[in-house]
Every structure is written in structure tokens, then in C-alpha cells.
Amino acid sequence: MTITSQTGTTPSPTPARKPAKQKGGGFLRYLITRFLLIIPTVFILITVVFFLMRVTGDPITAAMGGRLTPDQLAIRIHEAGYDRPVFIQYIEYLGQVFSGNLGRTMSDNRAVTEVLVTYGAATLELAINAVIVALAVGIPLGLVAAKFRDRYPDAVLRILAILSYATPVFFAGLLLKLIFGVWLGWLPISGRADWQTELALTGLQNPSGIYWLDALRSGNMAALGDVTAHALLPALALGLLTGGVFLRLVRTNAIGTLGREYVEAGRSRGVSEFRLVTKHAYRPALIPIITVMGLQIAMLLGGAVLTETTFEWAGLGFKLAEYLTARDFVAVQGIVVVLAIIVAVTNFIVDILAALIDPRVRY
């Protein structure tokens, strides 16, 4: 995903004009069409990932290759059914995926679905935190940049936005760790919580796995503080880098809306400049942001893999990196497929939201 394509493809931020007597079936039809479009996307991704992973051989040889004799390997491969024709395996795999069975991991023999549920919550928490940081940073700064267009605050912010694109999240993480963790000693540098907190939170009745939510529910304030301290650096690293994208987006769209007649009309009525920026220009500039958010989710998940590895944050990305090192390709395949489904569903939800807000989006 390139920078300019994000700002270039967004619909123009004019406020939506009320369509004259929208027909009842219009939106519903769009919803159904859009929903049906998920199916080929997910299907193609599952197929592509399956065949790519099988081209190189079976998962058992990959994981156990050096440790077992060829005879033992052959027995294991036969037991698992990897010696049958690839096409039959593929049909079987499809059946399994649709019945919610993603197989068992090679390295630690757990159900892949169980791994997904256990570690998915951590990734969700990280993603939410990062989006909060990104919005809190990106929107106000984007408005400032639009207001002072082509003057020095804008120039500084543009450079910052490029910097945030140019910095890999693991390098930002390394710097944050060094500064706030090692030199200043203010914040913990890895993990999601201290072991005492971890013990207290996992001992709860049906924990959600999202630590700050669990800490809030149990009213454990010490745990909440600990969890927040641990969450701060990863959220900053991933959030600041994503925030740069939001900044550019808000800037471009707010420049568009600031130049429109209704803003000028507001100014002539004596509406303050501050109010013009934060109310008049801001609202319509939000619509394209929602659309781009969907694309950002895909980027955020990619970033989450790197962020989690950097901060040893025990989420899906962290586990994915572990399974990759262990050459556990059943687990890798499962996680990748589920992430693909998440991305496809998010894009669907975002498109629907965009259509609800701006009727012109509908086909």
C-alpha cells in the first residue's frame, strides 16, 4: 500500500446530498452483493496459501526432518495422510476449514483454533490500543497541518508523517525500549503484565483475555496500572506509525473541505477559526477516513506481527513468529488463513459503514 494511493482514491469529501426517495431495496442489495464478494476472496486466499505451502513438501518433513529417520518420517506422513494426492488433501482441508477445524500444531500439539482464541485477544487489545493512539495523534495534527497549509507547521508535520512511514515498527520499538525502559527506567520493556498480575487475571471466571478489560471488571486497580504500563510502549510504537497515515489523510481531506463555500459562509457569519476547523471542516473530512481504516486494518495486522515480536507481546503475531522458527507450517497456515478472513470481514464492515454514511458509495 502506497502513501499516495490512500489519499488519491478517497471519494471527494463533499457532504452527502440526500438522495431523492431512495428505493428500499438499494441498500439491502448492496449489502448482500458486498457480502457475497467476501466468499471468493477468502476462498482464493485459502487455496493460494494451501497450495503454496504444499508445493515445498509436507509439514511433517519440514518440522521433524532432521530429528527422525526416513522410515519413521514415512510412517508419520502416512498416518497424517500427507502421502495422498494433493487435490484430495485440498478438498479435505476445505471441508475441515469450513467446519472450523484447522488441525493441530506440530510443535506443541495444540488445536490451532485454541491457539487462535488464546492469543487472538492479545492481538485485538494491541490493535485497539494502537488505533486509539493513531486517531488521537493523527486527527488533531492533520487538522493543524490543513489549517496552516504550506506554512512551517505543515512542513514540519509533513516531514514527521514521512518519518513515521519510513520507520519500521521494530526500530521505533527498539528506541522506545532504550529510552523509556532502559535509560529512564519508567516502563517495562516486554510482556503484557507482571507474572503476579498475569496470574490474578487468568484466574478470573471467563476472562476475556483483554487484560485491561479483565482488570477493570475485577476492580483490581494495581493490576490495571501494571497492564497499562506494559501496554503503553507497544501501543505507542504501532500507533504513532499508523498515526502518520491518518495525519496525511485528514490533512488532504480537511484542505478540501476548508476551501468550500459553506466554510467561507461560516467565516462571514463570524464563526471562530477554531470552530470552523474542528466542526465545519472536520466532520465531512471523516468519511474517507473510515474507508481507509479498512485498508489500515490489513497494515495494522502486519505491523502487529512485528510489534508483538519486538515487545514479546504474547499475541497471534508473536506466536506466528515462534511457529515460523519452529517450521510448524500447520500452525502458520491456520493463523494466516484466519487473519485473511479477519481482513476480508473488516473490509466488508467498513464498506457497509461507508455506504451508511455516504449514500453515493452504493452501486
Which residues bind to another protein, rule: CB under 8 A?
1-5, 40-41, 44-45, 48-49, 52-53, 55-56, 62, 150, 155, 159, 162-163, 165-168, 170-171, 174-175, 177-178, 181-183, 189-190, 298-299, 301-302, 305-306, 309-310, 320-321, 324-325, 327, 329, 332, 336, 339-340, 343-344, 347
Cβ proximity to another protein, 160 vs 271, nearer residue = 160
Measured from the CB atom, the residue of 265 and 349 that comes closer to another protein is 349
Question: Distance between CA atoms of 159 and 362, rounded to whole angstroms?
Answer: 36
Q: Min. distance of Cβ 297 from another protein in angstroms?
A: 9
Q: Which residue has the cell 495486522?
A: 301
Residue 179: phi and psi, rounded to 5, are -75, -55
140 vs 302, which CB is nearer to another protein? 302
Q: Cell numbers for 117, please give them.
A: 482464541
CB 295 within 8 A of CB 161: no
Q: 150: alpha, beta or left, given left = phi > 0 and alpha = psi -120 to 50?
A: left
Q: From the CB of 258, what's the least distance to another protein, in Å?
A: 15
Smallest gap, in angstroms, from Cβ of residue 207 to another protein? 28
Nearer to another protein, 186 or 274 (CB): 186
Non-local (6+) Cβ contacts of 207 within 8 A are 201, 214
User: Shortest Cβ distance from residue 86 to another protein (Å)?
Assistant: 14
**Smallest distance from another protein to CB 244, Å:** 11
Q: How far is the CB of 55 from another protein (least distance, A)?
A: 6
Q: Is 2 helix (H, G, I), strand (E, B) or coil?
A: coil
CA atoms within 13 A on the CB side of 278: 7
Least separation in angstroms between residue 44's CB and another protein is 4
Is the Cβ–Cβ distance between 287 and 257 less than 8 Å? no
CB environment 175-208: b (16+ within 10 A), e (fewer): ebbeebbeeeeebbbeebbbeebbebbeeeeeee
Cβ closer to another protein: 201 or 301?
301
What element of type H or E holds 125?
helix 112-147
Q: Which residue has the cell 498416518?
A: 79
Q: Name the residue nearer to another protein (CB basis): 150 or 261.
A: 150
- Provide, rounded to whole angstroms, the least separation between the CB of residue 88 and another protein: 21
Q: Which CB, 142 or 266, lies closer to another protein?
A: 142
Nearer to another protein, 189 or 258 (CB): 189
What's 34's DSSP letter? Answer: H
Binning the chain into helix, strand and coil, the percentages to the nearest 5 are: 75, 0, 25
Residue 205, C-alpha cell as written in the block: 471466571
